[in-house]
Structure 1
Amino acid sequence: MASTFIENQFQFAEMNIQHRGNPEKTLSLVRRAIRMGYDCVVINTDIGSINQNIEDVLQESTEEPPKKKKKKGKRENVIPDPVEIDVSKVNTADLEVAGTKFRLFSRLTVTLTDSTSVHTLMHHPQAHKYDLIAVRPSDDRILQTLSRKGDFVDIITYEQTSTSIPWLYGKSGLIQTCITEGLSFEITYAEALKDSSQRRQVLTNARQLLLVTKGGRGVVLASGAEEIIDLRAPYDAANLSILFGGRPEDSRKFLAGNAKRALLRAQSRKTIKGAMVVTNAEEIPSRLVNRKNELERLMSVPEFRAQLEVVEGSSKDSKEASKDIDK
């Protein structure tokens, strides 16, 4: 699905609604997010490691008989098409009354374990179909690679309940470099709502991320919701950021300003790249200027004159060589 222009009326973004293979369930999550006040929703397809068996990508919640397992060792790169949601089935009247416009984006999340997986994702044609690309680096070496060659990535995330995230602890300089390059880091809160042991680890990791990003610079907050009960309204979610160590006055930016920054980065990747030269109006050549005068002006540039002499010299040599052949 194509992204639309991020207008100034942008309010709140839900950057991570999980799609698990059931379009109707995903649609119900989108409807709930809109009713809660989100005018921007991102549907996330998380495939885990990019090299895996095709039947492990999405688990269909249907009554169809399970497909036969493929032989172990026969692995392939699997990136499905972005999920298609019928926006006509979504009621956006409340957003329109508030003067905002509903936007729907697609997102792909991939776990990167080595340089091969980085290269595969970077050049995979299926990845280009998604509006946003999020990655889960396994170690600080992958993160260092992304800090230098991460133009194809928008968001860096991690397993929120993990007790082992090497790059999150002791690599503050590397994280700051990634943010300077335009990458965003993600915190999701759904796991923190489930049980106390998971909540403790989510809080620990989130606090560390806000610490190394100096108060949440470049950090987005999302639900990571798989069920409706996992979703929270924008201001409730913003209040959760205070539990993560954020300041009350900064709580809105995790769902608004920082989220908009990530979306604009993703959108800019789909635009045409070019260069622009700024000069004074009087220095712009007129269409009526004599070509001879313009050539004389160019000849006053040493580099142009040297290049012209080289071309003329080579032309003379070719003519002399052709004369010798004729003789």
Structure 2
Amino acid sequence: MSVFMDLNLSYTADKGRLQSLIETAAHLGFSTVAINYVFEPTAKKKQEIPVPTPINDLMDQLPVVQGRSRPIRVLNRLTVVMSDSSHFRQNAPEYRRYDLLAVQPTTEKLFHAACMTFDVDLICISVTEKLPFFFKRAPVNGAMERGVVFEVSYSAAIRDSTLRRYTIANAVSLMETCKGKNVILSSAAEKPLELRGPYDISNLGLLFGLSDGDAKEAVSSTCRSVVLHAETRKTASGIVYTMKSCSETPGQQEAPPAHCEAPAAKRAKQLTE
């Protein structure tokens, strides 16, 4: 059975709407979602990278995924909209607050840099305007070799007919270059009505130029690869993973809980599966 993911639910300060987004995603069968915080630096004033809201502060109990017995998994994601190379700080400690890191380049030069050098998990393709550059095979292949994945979101196509044309045109242009590989489809939904089920998204992928198999992978296995890439990015060559150990009561000699035992070993096993 496929595991479906939507790695782009737009963050909103409206707590109720964000809860509804997560609950709707779980009802539609998504096992993992990511709350997307968009950071768009400007030259006029210094801006601080937003701090993600802990999921415990957002919801007391996560909804159970339809058709499964486990609750939905919620990740935090940061997307940096770049109009200048200085907007992405390669080793900024603020990036470590997020599970996923994405960039949205606005020029051909920045797109090339994102594909070839930036340590990110996702490269977002703008769907709200006609791209000012063409996709070239060399940087796209370079990103694919590094395990970086491209993202196309579909909710803008639902809101407006003009945005629908831009979405389809930009998506088709990308698919012609990458041959449908290393691409995910996500919603970028701002409200529950903009969410679609996994199989509806797969059918939409056919309109974007994906094959039937690639369209299904774009909402399942390729998304899983993005999550694993993000975890590997925080390790030493994908081998050593550090995390906080569970606190132990003074004087307690009992074995630690199962979820605290050998975290590095368990993580290494997950990354090799």
TM-score normalised by length of structure 2: 0.80
Match of 1:110 among 77, 80, 91: 80
Structure 2 residue runs of 5 or longer lacking an equivalent are 241-273
Match of 1:154 among 93, 107, 121: 121
| 1:197–1:115 distance in 2 versus 1, CA, 3 Å | closer
| 1:238–1:161 distance in 2 versus 1, CA, 3 Å | same
Structure 1 residue runs of 5 or longer lacking an equivalent are 1-8, 53-72, 277-327
Amino acid across the alignment from 1:240: L
Match of 1:207 among 172, 190, 205: 172
CA distance in 2 between counterparts of 1:154 and 1:235 reads 24
Q: Which residue of 2 aligns with 1:255?
A: 219
**1:163 to 2:130 alignment:** yes
- Mapping of 1:4-19 within 5 angstroms? 11-19=3-11
1:88-134 CA-to-partner distances (Å, cap 9, x unmatched) read 4322164543xx5632110001112222223xx32322111001111
CA distance in 1 between counterparts of 2:203 and 2:112 reads 32
Cα displacement (A) at 1:274: 7.6
Identity between Structure 1 and Structure 2 (%): 29
- Mapping of 1:230-241 within 5 angstroms? 230-241=194-205
Cα displacement (A) at 1:30: 0.5
Match of 2:97 among 119, 129, 145: 129
1:271-296 CA-to-partner distances (Å, cap 9, x unmatched) read 244889xxxxxxxxxxxxxxxxxxxx
Q: Which residue of 2 aligns with 1:35?
A: 27
**Which of 1 and 2 has greater Rg?**
1
CA distance in 2 between counterparts of 1:135 and 1:184 reads 11
CA distance in 1 between counterparts of 2:135 and 2:115 reads 16
Q: Which residue of 1 aligns with 2:15?
A: 23
C-alpha RMSD of matched pairs (Å): 2.1
**Structure with greater helix share of residues:** 1
State the SS of the aligned residue for 1:43. Answer: strand
Is contact 1:23–1:83 with CA below 8 Å preserved after alignment?
no
Cα displacement (A) at 1:253: 0.3
Amino acid across the alignment from 2:80: V
| 1:196–1:127 distance in 2 versus 1, CA, 3 Å | same
| 1:161–1:89 distance in 2 versus 1, CA, 3 Å | same
1:6-62 CA-to-partner distances (Å, cap 9, x unmatched) read xxx7600011000022222111100100000000011000122x346xxxxxxxxxx
TM-score normalised by length of structure 1: 0.68
Amino acid across the alignment from 1:175: V
Amino acid across the alignment from 1:104: V
Is contact 1:27–1:85 with CA below 8 Å preserved after alignment?
no
Amino acid across the alignment from 1:154: D
1:160-188 CA-to-partner distances (Å, cap 9, x unmatched) read 0211341xx14122112111111110010
**Moved >6 Å (runs of 4+):** none
Amino acid across the alignment from 2:124: T
